[in-house]
């Protein structure tokens, strides 16, 4: 994989921006249900668990496709896979616009999840192909966070569209944006500075398994996976489905205020990106410590809100949103661990393994909240504040698991680094940073 800049310095930024727009569009489609949860409950006459199943299924498809998508990108290149992604996600969103039953809507969200699953790893591969290595941590962080502007478009604008245009036209408008994106992508995006289409060496099934096994055998890959598992699911929970109902039903905010807070969530996530990118670039030996600090801040902020007697004051809810905004950018640190733990030809597949972590935890979080709400308010669609507090408290189970695993694999990486230094006399900078 080439890490040399393109012949024209601005060209690499053009390619990156096109990839970023494709990713942002996928994030918009992924997040478009966040402010439509209550409307979907009425449209399809469904329970909390059934509503959660939209996001759960979407995340399940996303997580299950990450390793195959990583292999596809290594084999066929970002341009080809991104093209397929735009077609699939736009088709799914159009189907969701016209769905008039729960079953049809579920099928549409499967397509949205499948198309969404193909985008992010493609853009990460473009970053490593077009930018010098010293810039990769920062550009990768910016990719993950600027892409979340797609979620910003799914907050207040989507709320307005649903209220003024109706369900079908609101979702169909988003789907039609994919056609324009497809034209831009095919004209401007190349896989590398020297190749429009990058093609990897065809591998047999045995070779594919061996490549994945090699990535998984690297403790740094597993450390990155658990770092990615631990940090983003609270952001997913709030941004994709339960944030709006929680703020309106449990904290008794107006729809406009709740929508504004979800927009703030996206804005703070974007703001964290450059800071964490700079921090990781300057202090690569402290990457897992940074992740653990983020988890601690998340657990503390949620504890203050959930334990507050009655409705939490608005400044505390703003603080919660600002802290939760760090979860998505924090998960990006895991990809940097994968990048420095694996050779270039395994970058996409290792990233696919790691990307499973955060979307698995997000899936579990969304599912757990829906299950607890149904258990505490059986047969009702008006969930009590107390039920919501218990439901949101299920996040602590996932944080506990994630922290235990991060500490476990951090010790393994440190031990491996120490043994390699002793055996080979290598300096610390010649080895994969152990994310201390």
Given a contact cutoff of 8 angstroms between Cβ atoms, the answer to whether 227 and 337 are in contact is: yes
- Does residue 375 form part of some domain? yes
Give the per-residue pLDDT at 408.
Answer: 92
User: The domain that contains 61 carries what CATH number?
Assistant: 1.20.1250.20
Given a contact cutoff of 8 angstroms between Cβ atoms, the answer to whether 238 and 262 are in contact is: yes
Q: Determine the average pLDDT of the residues in 243-270.
A: 88
User: Going by C-beta distance under 8 Å and a sequence separation of 6 or more, which residues neighbour residue 237?
Assistant: 243, 362, 365, 366, 369, 392, 395
- Give the tens place of pLDDT for each residue, 393-416: 999 999 999 999 999 998 888 777
How many other CB atoms are found less than 10 A from the CB of residue 305?
20
Judged against a pLDDT cut of 80, whether residue 339 lies above it is answered with: no
Alpha-carbon Rg for the chain in angstroms = 21
Nearest CA among 272, 285, 335, 276 for reference residue 125: 335
Q: Determine phi and psi for 251, rounding to 5 degrees.
A: -105, 0
Give the per-residue pLDDT at 351.
Answer: 78
- pLDDT > 90: percent of the chain: 27
Give the per-residue pLDDT at 353.
Answer: 85
Given a contact cutoff of 8 angstroms between Cβ atoms, the answer to whether 395 and 219 are in contact is: no
- Tell me how far apart the alpha carbons of residues 327 and 235 are, in angstroms, rounded to a whole number: 6
- Tell me how far apart the alpha carbons of residues 218 and 311 are, in angstroms, rounded to a whole number: 47
SS3 sequence of 57-91: HHHHHHHHHHHHHHHHHHHHCHHHHHHHHHHHHHH
- Cα-Cα-Cα-Cα torsion 390, 391, 397, 403, nearest 10 degrees, comes to -110
Q: Determine the average pLDDT of the residues in 327-333.
A: 88
Split at pLDDT 50, 70, 90, the class of 326 is: very high
- Tell me how far apart the alpha carbons of residues 231 and 343 are, in angstroms, rounded to a whole number: 25
- Give the tens place of pLDDT for each residue, 61-84: 887 888 888 888 877 888 899 999
How many domains in the chain?
A: 1
- Give the tens place of pLDDT for each residue, 143-172: 877 887 787 777 677 778 877 888 888 888
**Residue 388 lies in domain:** 9-191+210-421
The 8-class DSSP code of residue 118 comes to T
Given a contact cutoff of 8 angstroms between Cβ atoms, the answer to whether 319 and 311 are in contact is: no
Task: Quickly list H helices, 77-135.
Answer: 78-98, 102-117, 120-130
Judged against a pLDDT cut of 90, whether residue 392 lies above it is answered with: yes
Give the per-residue pLDDT at 86.
Answer: 93
Side-chain-side CA neighbours of 264 within 13 Å: the count stands at 17
Given a contact cutoff of 8 angstroms between Cβ atoms, the answer to whether 336 and 137 are in contact is: yes
Q: Which residue has the tokens 């498809």?
A: 61
The 8-class DSSP code of residue 100 comes to -
- Give the tens place of pLDDT for each residue, 125-140: 888 888 887 788 788 8
Give the per-residue pLDDT at 287.
Answer: 87
- Does residue 428 form part of some domain? no
Give the per-residue pLDDT at 337.
Answer: 83
- Tell me how far apart the alpha carbons of residues 328 and 19 are, in angstroms, rounded to a whole number: 19
Split at pLDDT 50, 70, 90, the class of 7 is: very low
Judged against a pLDDT cut of 60, whether residue 2 lies above it is answered with: no
The chain-wide mean pLDDT, for the chain, equals 82
Q: Determine the average pLDDT of the residues in 370-392.
A: 84
- Tell me how far apart the alpha carbons of residues 221 and 243 are, in angstroms, rounded to a whole number: 31
- Does residue 429 form part of some domain? no
- Does residue 436 form part of some domain? no
- Give the tens place of pLDDT for each residue, 196-238: 666 666 666 777 777 778 888 888 889 999 999 999 999 988 9
Residue of higher predicted confidence among 239 and 204: 239
- Tell me how far apart the alpha carbons of residues 123 and 23 are, in angstroms, rounded to a whole number: 7
- Tell me how far apart the alpha carbons of residues 436 and 415 are, in angstroms, rounded to a whole number: 12
Nearest CA among 327, 334, 166, 299 for reference residue 239: 327
Give the per-residue pLDDT at 292.
Answer: 95
- Does residue 426 form part of some domain? no
- Tell me how far apart the alpha carbons of residues 194 and 190 are, in angstroms, rounded to a whole number: 8
- 356's tokens: 């499973």
- Tell me how far apart the alpha carbons of residues 303 and 312 are, in angstroms, rounded to a whole number: 11
- Give the tens place of pLDDT for each residue, 276-309: 878 877 777 788 899 999 999 999 999 999 999 9
Judged against a pLDDT cut of 80, whether residue 435 lies above it is answered with: no
- Tell me how far apart the alpha carbons of residues 272 and 145 are, in angstroms, rounded to a whole number: 8
- Does residue 135 form part of some domain? yes
pTM here is 0.70
- Does residue 196 form part of some domain? no
Q: Determine the average pLDDT of the residues in 101-126.
A: 89
Give the per-residue pLDDT at 433.
Answer: 45
Look at the alpha carbons of 200, 205, 207, 208 in this order and tell me if their dihedral is positive or negative: positive
- Tell me how far apart the alpha carbons of residues 33 and 159 are, in angstroms, rounded to a whole number: 10
Q: Determine the average pLDDT of the residues in 172-179.
A: 85
- Tell me how far apart the alpha carbons of residues 386 and 380 are, in angstroms, rounded to a whole number: 14
Residue of higher predicted confidence among 358 and 416: 358
Judged against a pLDDT cut of 90, whether residue 28 lies above it is answered with: no
Judged against a pLDDT cut of 70, whether residue 426 lies above it is answered with: no
How many other CB atoms are found less than 10 A from the CB of residue 278?
13
Give the per-residue pLDDT at 352.
Answer: 79
Q: Determine phi and psi for 111, rounding to 5 degrees.
A: -65, -40
Give the per-residue pLDDT at 162.
Answer: 79
- Does residue 314 form part of some domain? yes
């Amino acid at each position: 994989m080439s890490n040399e800049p393109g012949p024209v310095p601005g060209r690499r930024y053009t390619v990156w921006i096109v990839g970023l727009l494709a990713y942002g569009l996928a994030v918009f489609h992924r997040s478009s249900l966040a402010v439509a949860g209550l409307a979907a409950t009425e449209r399809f006459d469904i329970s909390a668990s059934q509503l959660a199943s939209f996001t759960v299924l979407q995340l399940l498809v996303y997580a299950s496709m990450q390793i195959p998508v990583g292999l596809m990108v290594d084999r066929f290149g970002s341009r080809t896979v991104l093209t397929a992604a735009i077609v699939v996600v736009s088709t799914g969103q159009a189907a969701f616009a016209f769905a008039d039953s729960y079953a049809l809507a579920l099928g549409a969200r499967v397509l949205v999840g499948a198309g969404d699953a193909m985008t992010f790893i493609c853009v990460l591969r473009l970053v490593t192909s077009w930018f010098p290595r010293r810039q990769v941590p920062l550009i990768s962080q910016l990719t993950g966070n600027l892409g979340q502007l797609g979620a910003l478009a799914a907050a207040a604008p989507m709320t307005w569209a649903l209220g003024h245009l109706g369900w079908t036209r609101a979702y169909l408008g988003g789907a039609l944006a994919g056609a324009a994106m497809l034209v831009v992508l095919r004209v401007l995006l190349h896989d590398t500075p020297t190749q429009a289409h990058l093609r990897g060496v065809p591998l047999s099934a045995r070779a594919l398994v061996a490549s994945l096994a090699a990535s998984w055998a690297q403790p740094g890959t597993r450390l990155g996976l658990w770092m990615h598992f631990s940090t983003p699911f609270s952001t997913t929970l709030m941004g994709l489905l339960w944030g709006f109902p929680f703020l309106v039903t449990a904290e008794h905010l107006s729809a406009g205020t709740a929508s504004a807070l979800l927009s703030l969530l996206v804005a703070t996530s974007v703001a964290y990106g450059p800071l964490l990118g700079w921090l990781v670039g300057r202090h690569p030996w402290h990457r897992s410590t940074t992740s653990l600090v983020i988890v601690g801040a998340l657990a503390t902020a949620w504890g203050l809100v959930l334990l507050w007697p009655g409705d939490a004051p608005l400044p505390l809810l703003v603080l919660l949103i600002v802290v939760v905004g760090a979860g998505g950018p924090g998960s990006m640190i895991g990809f940097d661990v994968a990048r420095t733990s694996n050779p270039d030809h395994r970058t996409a597949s290792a990233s696919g393994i790691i990307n499973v972590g955060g979307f698995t935890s997000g899936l579990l979080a969304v599912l757990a909240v829906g299950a607890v709400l149904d258990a505490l308010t059986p047969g009702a669609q008006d969930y009590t504040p107390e039920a919501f507090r218990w439901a949101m408290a299920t996040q602590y189970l996932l944080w506990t698991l994630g922290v235990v695993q991060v500490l476990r694999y951090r010790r393994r990486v440190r031990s491996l680094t120490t043994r390699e230094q002793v055996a080979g006399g290598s300096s610390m900078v010649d080895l994969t940073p152990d994310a201390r």
